[in-house]
A and B are shown apart, each in its own frame.
Chain A
Amino acid sequence: MLDFRLNDEQQMLVGAIARFAKERLRKVYRDAEETGTIPGDVVQAGWEMGVLPTAIPEAYGGFGDYSAVTGVLAAEEFAWGDLAISLQIMLPNLVAIPIMLAGTEAQKATYLPGFCDERPPRLTATLTEPTVFFDPHKLKTTAVLDGDHYLLNGVKINAPLAGEAELILVYANENGKTQGFLVPTDTPGVAVGERNKLMGIHALATHTVTLENVRVPVANKLGGVAGCDFQFILNHSRVALGAAAVGVARAGYEYAREYAKQRVQFGEPIAHRQSIAFMLADMATDVDSARLLVWEAAWLLDKGKDATREITVMKNYVDQLVVDVADRAVQILGGYGYIREYPVELWLRNARGFATFDGLAMI
């Protein structure tokens, strides 16, 4: 039966992450952004909330309670606190979820138990390439079968924490189809390059990764010989990013709303003016619209439906809504919106990234 209310466990989880986001992430996000470093204790505390182990099947040491709906609830709350730090907290998902969804039995047995440990395993994934017309279904990085190995060649960018990673899930083009390959970083030909300079999420270290005749065993192909349905994996990433976008949008909306109630001009709060109040009403409605679209998409995934159409429609729309909401937040703060002492300029920069963040989050 149609219902828009969270159940008890979801309420507890959302409440706990909301507290963490407010008390931890919002305390350090600006320093992290300006210095480009995220405090390790905050990431560890986020990891200890145990969102990922809850999703891992019991056979591999988790609680077997995977749900995309619960995942999007968590992602929104984390991202409300700070996008860059929450992308790092959720970084292990980038490898764990594809293995859960598409991995072979051996891959699951090898990797999944590691995601239930006290500290997150040092893994990352990379999809994006340095090209204007980036298309995740037509990657320039290639994978060619050579006996019992694959030969990988290409340049990837925006690989989070690739410098510390022991293994990278590399997406590459095999005969026109995107497939995943589990590549240990000590494999000859793998070079983790300089840190990427991005418009937003400065706190998160992302890197260029160059692959030159990198040989990986066939067994390291995600899903084994049969491979994986990449659109299915992409859908899980887009729902996660949609939820994170809702979190960023809500942060901007709430901040602008409270600011407008405090800021006095012409003798009364600017929120008393319809020009401001109506912008806020639209922002609130946009945030709710985006959230409902994300929830429905996640619910379809949980039902095992092919939700490609719904997710594409949702993602393209939400990517724009989050920018519109963040932009209006900057506008409502006026000059202060442009100053880095206030958070809204950062949210606008982060918001603009969602259209290019494919593969940077996963639930």
Chain B
Amino acid sequence: MIDFEIPDFIKNQQQLIKMVAEQAMRPFSRQLDEHEHERPKTFVNMTWPFAQQMMQRSLKPLMQNGNGSGAPQKERTGPDYSTLALIFMIEQLSWGDAGQYLCLPHPMLGGAAVQSAGTPEQQVRFLKRFTEGKPKWGAMAITEPGAGSDNSAMRTTAVLDPETNEWILNGEKIFITSGKLALEESDGICVVWATVDPKAGRAGIKSFVVEAGTPGVTIAKQEHKLGIRASDTVALHFNNVRIPYHNLLGSAEAADKMADKGFQGAMKTFDASRPAVAASAVGIARAALEFTIDRLKQEGVVVDYTKPKHQLTAVERDIMEMEARYKAAWLLTLRATAQMAHGESNRLEASMCKYRAGEAVTWITQRAVELLGPLGYSRELLVEKWMRDAKINDIYEGTKQINQLIVARSILGYSRRELK
């Protein structure tokens, strides 16, 4: 039944998060943008209890015996509201500040990978830490200098040492969000993609969990970025990093049997993470749109929605197109999320919303800077920052072009070979 009604508990949640955004994020946006690599302490301290509760709720079904030997999650009967709640949360936090949102003390992408590919035992072993003690972070290391969109080209290796039953990781990973927070500044985790057989291409790629404090991991570089400067982005070097055999995500038997499915499983993480990126993009778009409308109102410019198109001013036309593109991106995102919540496949729709939202927020924030003239360009306000923050959504979790390629293959029914 077609329905756009948001459940009440999400509306309430949004009120709360909006307060966090206004009190713990916005006041620090400029400072953190101009002092890259400083940490958003207020935001982290304020959200840590909330993030712990979220993790507790999601681990609860596995924790009945305290160690993950409890019953696996029950077969779902209704829609999964937590997925929907998460997407709304990301939108509202990104409305506050997209860079700080990425510093949420939560396993984030790494946690999503553990939850989608890990055994119940692994989920508890790696994620329980996010429910107790001091704030912690999770990260995911996929990209390499020579393997961006083509992640099958990755060169980081995992070799099994049969004597100690340990994996030995060697290689170089880049553009890792919260990598330093996860591995050096907290007792967090980093999910690392590596190949167990470089000749096997995609079939050889598996994901492994590296815990903070593991010898041989070094932070090679902290990046300086165009935007989302509050977010920690690092390069990691793995030099004979030894991790236990059971840090390979998924059960050992399954991992052997699955062969090609390892890579497919890893890719499946994107079906969930792309709507999340789209939601973040939409949050920034809404921030810029609301600010622009408010500021123009102070100048006496109020959009008249009853005028015919030929009587609209250029400014009114722009505002209306910004609104339309923002709303379309959000609805595409909600559709991909609702599919997830209903347990349906959303590969096509996830890529569609991600690329369209990245495109929309890039355009909307650039137009906001233009409309606000000297104020838009000023570092006294946040609009120029939002424009710089926005652009990352056109790039990470698959560039716009890679996601268009996925959409194109899907609608045409083509393989990688037919549509390169």
Binding site for B on A (CB under 8 A): 1-7, 10, 69, 132-137, 231, 257, 260-261, 271-272, 274, 277-278, 280-282, 284-285, 288-290, 292-293, 295-296, 299-300, 308-310, 312-314, 316-317, 319, 355
Contact = CB atoms under 8 A, between A and B. Distances in A.
Contact of A10 (B2, B338, B342, B409): B2
A289 B419 contact: no
B2 A316 contact: no
B408 A313 contact: no
Given A2-B5, A282-B404, A285-B356, A313 B332 contact: no
Interface residues of B, number: 49
Contact of B352 (A132, A136, A280, A285): A285
A3 B331 contact: no
A299 B328 contact: no
A133 B412 CA distance: 43
22 contacts: A2-B84, A2-B338, A2-B341, A5-B342, A10-B2, A134-B308, A135-B311, A136-B308, A137-B306, A137-B308, A271-B419, A272-B419, A277-B408, A277-B419, A278-B404, A281-B405, A281-B407, A292-B331, A295-B4, A300-B4, A308-B306, A309-B305
Contacts of A280: 408, 411-412
- Most B CB contacts (10 A, CB to CB) among A261, A289, A319 go to A289
B327 A316 contact: no
B355 A285 contact: yes
Contact of B305 (A1, A69, A312): A312
Contact of A3 (B1, B311, B355): B1
In terms of DSSP, what is the predominant structure of the interface of chain A? Answer: helix
Contacts of B356: 285, 289
Q: Which 9 A-B pairs have the closest CB atoms?
A: A317-B324, A289-B328, A292-B331, A277-B408, A281-B407, A281-B408, A312-B305, A7-B1, A309-B305
Contacts of B334: 2, 4
A6 B352 contact: no
Nearest to A234: B306
B4 A316 contact: no
Contacts of A317: 320-321, 324-325, 328
Contacts of B412: 257, 260-261, 271, 277, 280
Given A261-B412, A288-B332, A288-B335, 20 more contacts: A2-B5, A2-B7, A5-B2, A7-B1, A10-B2, A272-B418, A277-B414, A281-B405, A281-B408, A290-B328, A292-B331, A292-B332, A293-B327, A310-B327, A313-B320, A313-B327, A316-B321, A317-B325, A317-B328, A319-B309
B72 interface: no
B199 interface: no
Contacts of B306: 137, 231, 308, 312
Contacts, number: 139
A154 B305 CA distance: 27
Contacts of B405: 274, 277-278, 281
A6 B2 contact: yes
A231 B307 CA distance: 11
Nearest to A261: B412
B293 to A, nearest CB: 11
Contact of A2 (B3, B327, B401, B404): B3
A2 B311 CA distance: 36
Nearest to A136: B308
Nearest to A258: B412
Contacts of B414: 271-272, 277
A269 to B, nearest CB: 8
B313 to A, nearest CB: 13
B3 A3 contact: yes
Contacts of B335: 4, 288, 292
A281 B327 contact: no
A133 B311 contact: yes
Looking at A132, A261, A312, which has the most chain B CB atoms within 10 Å of its CB?
A312
B4 A2 contact: yes
A1 B3 contact: yes
Interface in B1-59: 1-7
Nearest to B360: A289
B328 A292 contact: yes
B304 to A, nearest CB: 9
A308 B334 CA distance: 22
A231 B334 CA distance: 29
Contacts of B74: none
B310 interface: yes
B327 A296 contact: yes
B314 to A, nearest CB: 13
Contact of A285 (B3, B6, B327, B332): B332
Contact of B309 (A132, A278, A314, A316): A316
A308 B320 CA distance: 12
B245 to A, nearest CB: 42
